[in-house]
Chain A
Amino acid sequence: MDMPLKKPLSRREVLFGSYLGLGGLAFLDLLASDLGAATVVPQQPLAPKPPHLPAKAKRCIFLFLEGGVSQMDTFEYKPALERHAGKQMPKVEGAVGEVATFAAAPNRVIPPVAAFRQRGKSGLWVSDLLPNLAGCVDDMGFVYGIKVENNNHPPAVYHALTGSIFPGSPSVGAWMTYGLGTENQNLPGFVVLGSGSPAVGGAAIWSNGYLPAAYQGTLFRTTTPVPVVDLKPRPGMTLQQQRSELDLLRWLNEKHAAERTFAGDLEARIAAYEVAFRMQSEAPELIDLSRESDATRNLYGLDDPVARTMGRQCLMARRMVERGVRFVMVMHGSTKPWDDHGDIKTRLPLHCHEVDQPIAGLLKDLKSRGLLEETLVVWASEMGRTPFDNNLTTDKPGRDHNQYGLVMWMAGGDVRGGSSFGQTDDFGTRAAGEMIHMRDLHSTVLRLMGLDQNQLTYLNQGRLKKLTDIGGRIIKEIVTV
């Protein structure tokens, strides 16, 4: 016998001793292709891993504004809408087939809800509804006219967040923590900041899909006293009492492991209890905003009742990336607030008010703390909207779905500030030049985090699956790498 039985070689040591030696994902990939879908799940699935490629951003805040943000009322200026206001939508030059809509045929054109202005040194156009974000354009890179694969919310949401129009694929945050692990082992690597009711698409939008459960998003609800399910000890249970129970449990478990060979999985579960115990104190501290200065609270709009909810979410997001959480997805509102089929004149300014100061505050705060360099911030929604009215039967017009008209922007990391890419027709209905697909955005986001879309794969149902499916083009025009 060439090895003492008391302290046998654990599976973790076998695998990850060599894993670290080989340097990162190459070995994971080797495992994946070697072992197939039944890939061995590493005992420390969230241990930090080096990126494939050099990149400044180490963490990502992904803002998701559910419902389909109207691009022509926010970031994409289309003067033709003013000229045609109230008139029948003309046939768009060069448009192939029908303009995609959900409920209505093209009809009356709705002018932009508010005036647009050129902002910053870059002179990019932003609506007056977003005065604070307008001040940040020189940090942002915009992409106009993005196509998603479906024209209704749930499939489009799945597409924007998982790359597939069906539930069951890993969310972009799951891919990122799978690829990079996370820096703070006392907190989840992928956090979802929700604000209230369930999102359209439910838990599937932050799911690990076919990746191991360790990569699933952990929902932090910012409107309930306890943010994470089962985070708080039960009434009557003190932390001391819990600690003493966990000590006895640990003693039992260690004794049990010591009596066994091949104990890697047992050790991992012992460690998970210790992390959970620490998480109980770290996570509430994380969402406790009381120690933030008044200046910071004001910056995020916490004293504005309309902006407060999103402000809290954005401030928590900053606190999370500060503490090394790899991926924070911020869900704005609940039940697709941006789905402005009707009364867009009243509704849209309200949503803009809800997010403008909080998100601008986040960008400014990250920047002043030197964190924007290392933090990629992404603004996304699942679709754009139509230039024309949704439904003639109401006297309060709104815009219909438009799967070809999404606008996204990014900031931080290697994003080229003040840049933009993508050209849409005069009415903002669809790309006028190169067709930009959601895959292209996903590959760009991955690249900005130092991940190569073709190396970040997982074998499932006979295929090496990846976030970008058949592969996307990195939008070089808005990045510096």
Chain B
Amino acid sequence: MDPQPSADAGAQLSEQTRTWPYRGPIDPKIPAVKNSGWARNPIDAFILEKLEAKGLTAAPPASKRTLARRLYFDLVGMPPSPEELNAFLNDVSSDAYEKLVDRLLADPRYGERWGRHWLDLVRYSETEGLEGDVQLGRSRVILALSKIGGNPWRYRDWVIDAFNSDMPYDRFALWQVGGGDEHSKTRSSYEPDIRNYVALGFLRMAPWDVEDFVSEQQRQVYLNEVTATTASVFLGLTLGCAQCHDHKYDPIPTKDFYRFQAFFNAIYVSDAEVPYQDKAFREKAEAKIRYYTDQLKEGSAKKARDDYEKLLLDKLIPLKIKEAAGRKLEAQDLRLELRNTEQKIFTPAEQARHAELEADFNRMGDAEEKQALEACEKVLLEKLRDAYDRKLADPLARFRRLTVEDVRASMPVDGAERKYFSADEAEKWQKLTDQIEVMQRRLARWKPVALSVANVAGPPIGPPLPRTHVLIRGDFRQPGEGVDPGFPSAITGNSEPAVIDSDRYRQFPTRGRRITLARWIASPENPLTARVMVNRIWQHHFGRGIVGTPNDFGRNGERPTHPELLDWLAQRFVKQNWSVKAIHRLILTSNTWRQSADNHESAAAAAKIDPENRLLSHFSRQRLEAEEVRDTILFLSGRLNLERGGPSVFPRLPEELSDLAKPVPAGGLQWEPNEKEEDERRRSVYIFQRRSLPLPMMAAFDATVFNETCPVRSVTTTPLQALSFMNGSLVNEEAAYLAARVKKDAAEDRRAQVRRLFEIVLNRAPDTDEMSRMVDFPGSLESLSRILLSSNELMYVE
């Protein structure tokens, strides 16, 4: 493979290969099928056609109960309550099902469930990964250069709200790539809509290495990540494979990778204050900010630490005196003496000179500064010794100048020798200090600052944008040919530069690159955007996409199982104003989606011809995703806290990992206490996403904190999952609450209890065998609750 980018590979390839998926959707004919009565909508016709061609039949419809459970899990991520189910079962109107679909699409839990699918794609995280794993938007290296302090959760809430409000997908895509980059065609001094800065969190989720000191490299790594992720997420294009050499499978020359990257060339990492739109939320946040500001100024924790530090200071002073008595005068003694601005030993010039050198040394810490300071101190120390010897100054007076800062500096660092304070004292101080730090973090998290990007200034404030270059073998030290922003030639058929959508007078010369790309992505003419998104929607309803590799529509990905259906859906999507909910409705009301998970008629044939059920001869049973597992258990015990939005929460770590909640030298607290007890029981989408510390139970169920875009979660079955159910705190604690809930409804009668338990957990009555086994079981109601919570029937939706 030639690692060199070939100059006109794009132009050549585009002629021969402008086939699927680079060509726009065709308008497919809705196929005629034998069993035409089964086709409730065109989806069914496309599906049935392939089944009939293979001699397979569709499964009978699932029962109303099964369907309701499936629908609840699918749309809101948890089952119906017995009362909700009964209301549906008792609704005999002909559109009872359609009404339920609409009701659940309007349920705010829908956005929390479907927003999470999107968060997987955009590698949502709240920390940088890598050294210290500090929060995104808190990096001290960027702090020196730019405005930061953004809160990743703002983006998470933006996504959830976008799904709930059915934001048209073209706008949804537009703002995530082009937010803050738009302009007015008529006005000369247009300010971008600040609300769209929140969507730009998409461009800030990449892992970020604060300790990479080679700034040029760090920027290139960032741009590469953003380029590859944008193409994967919105276009299903593995552009990232062309970073170092021409794509090995798809018609994407290296040059196209950098032409695409050039759209991001003006990015300036900078966070933005975006006021909360929701009035109630704004008031809540303002109250929190006031509270923590006050607490940090004069709250009880602050006071407790102040008092304790004073106590420690009283202990420190005699220790320092004693220590100093046993040795010669040192620089630290001199520095302490110099804190007294009133002292008479040194001239004002000497004091000023020392202060300057000390400040230099503290700032730089380099050898040169150190030598200069030492030389100065050597002379002054002589003078100090002389002054003490001649009793011109009280040698003990300086110790009164010790402050709480010295207390903090005297705390033992990571296993170092304990000179002044006992382990208990250090631990108590650390605890008090942690409380303050946690409040500082909470204060910052409630502030309305969003993780965002801006554009560099450009003329007349700064220089024009540098040109993007093809990088030979992807190496930032080896720039090759210069390129201008341009769309992938495989799609456009040419390698012309894109016409940048700039403002009328080019008053903002760096503005317009991202929005140009964003508009091209969000265009009905783009052959990929709509297809890629409807495929994702399909995937989360059926367990796999029409294209089974949703981030890769290229040659190395899978061919669509039903290409005409995909095109038909993509066109419907655009026609219906890119409404995601409209596609949900279409799919959920099809007979295809309503099939039973068992197909007795076709089972044997399907197992042979289509073991993966790609042709959909029945509904594919789906294991609950990690978030559904946790949310459902809390929901069934009656303890799920449905509070929406805001800073993330910290469910307890397993006891075996609880020491991770203690501070470590590199990163402060890894895991924090919650603001209030019930935060522990919020929905899983609100769990703090720390890249280096995914919750073990969530990770065991295939939901880690993602570092790169994740289009399909794996579904694995492991003994560790079983252990987390058998012995973990969640299932065990909630089983007790579930038992209490059942007892409240069904009193002491074991049969009534079992019936109620089945009704709550499985939305059905136990059969005779089940009833007798459960009644005869020697264990408690809590045991029975734990057993049902662990059952496959709950764990797999069908």
Interface residues of A (CB under 8 A from B): 1-3, 5, 8-9, 11, 14-15, 35-38, 40-41, 43, 45, 102, 150, 152-155, 166-168, 188, 197-198, 200-204, 207, 210-214, 216, 218, 221, 224, 226-234, 237, 241-242, 244-246, 248-249, 251-253, 255-257, 260-262, 265-266, 268-270, 272-273, 275-277, 279-280, 335, 391-393, 459, 461-464
Contacts and interface: CB of A to CB of B under 8 A. Distances in A.
B129 to A, nearest CB: 5
Contacts of B660: 197-198
A276 B600 contact: no
B472 to A, nearest CB: 15
Contact of A261 (B133, B554, B599, B711): B599
Interface in B637-684: 654-657, 659-660, 664-666, 670
B787 A155 contact: no
Given A36-B558, A275-B722, A393-B370, A262 B211 contact: no
Interface stretch (B178-186, B322-330, B563-571, B698-706): B698-706
A35 B228 CA distance: 22
Interface stretch (B271-279, B455-463, B603-611): B603-611
Nearest to A215: B716
B727 interface: yes
Contacts of A224: 656
A14 B607 contact: yes
B787 A265 contact: no
Contact of B238 (A237, A246, A392, A462): A462
A245 B786 contact: yes
Nearest to B693: A202
Contacts of B707: 166-168, 204
B704 A15 contact: no
30 contacts: A3-B604, A9-B604, A36-B548, A37-B711, A38-B549, A40-B612, A153-B211, A154-B131, A168-B708, A203-B693, A211-B714, A212-B714, A221-B656, A229-B656, A229-B657, A230-B697, A233-B726, A234-B732, A252-B791, A260-B621, A262-B607, A277-B722, A277-B726, A280-B726, A335-B664, A461-B708, A462-B241, A462-B549, A462-B556, A463-B238
Contact of B716 (A41, A233, A242): A41
Interface residues of B, number: 104
Nearest to B614: A35
Nearest to B244: A470
Chain B contact residues: helix, strand, loop or mixed: loop
Given A5-B600, A154-B209, A168-B707, A202 B692 contact: yes
Given A41-B715, A166-B207, A252-B793, 18 more contacts: A38-B548, A43-B717, A153-B131, A154-B130, A155-B209, A166-B130, A167-B207, A188-B719, A213-B704, A214-B716, A230-B654, A230-B697, A253-B793, A261-B618, A280-B723, A392-B370, A462-B551, A463-B556
Q: Tell which of A11, A155, A201, A202 has the most Cβ of chain B within 10 Å.
A: A202
Interface in B715-766: 715-724, 726-728, 732
Contacts of B723: 228-231, 276, 279-280
Contacts of B130: 154-155, 166-167, 201
Nearest to A459: B556
A37 B712 contact: yes
B611 A198 contact: no
Nearest to B240: A461
A41 to B, nearest CB: 5
B796 interface: yes
Interface-central residue, B712, B727, B770, B773, by most chain A CB under 10 Å: B727
B607 A461 contact: no
B599 A273 contact: no
Contacts of B211: 152-154
Most interface-central of B250, B618, B621, B726 (chain A CB within 10 A): B726
B777 interface: yes
Contacts of A218: 720
Nearest to A253: B792
A136 B767 CA distance: 67
A461 B551 CA distance: 7
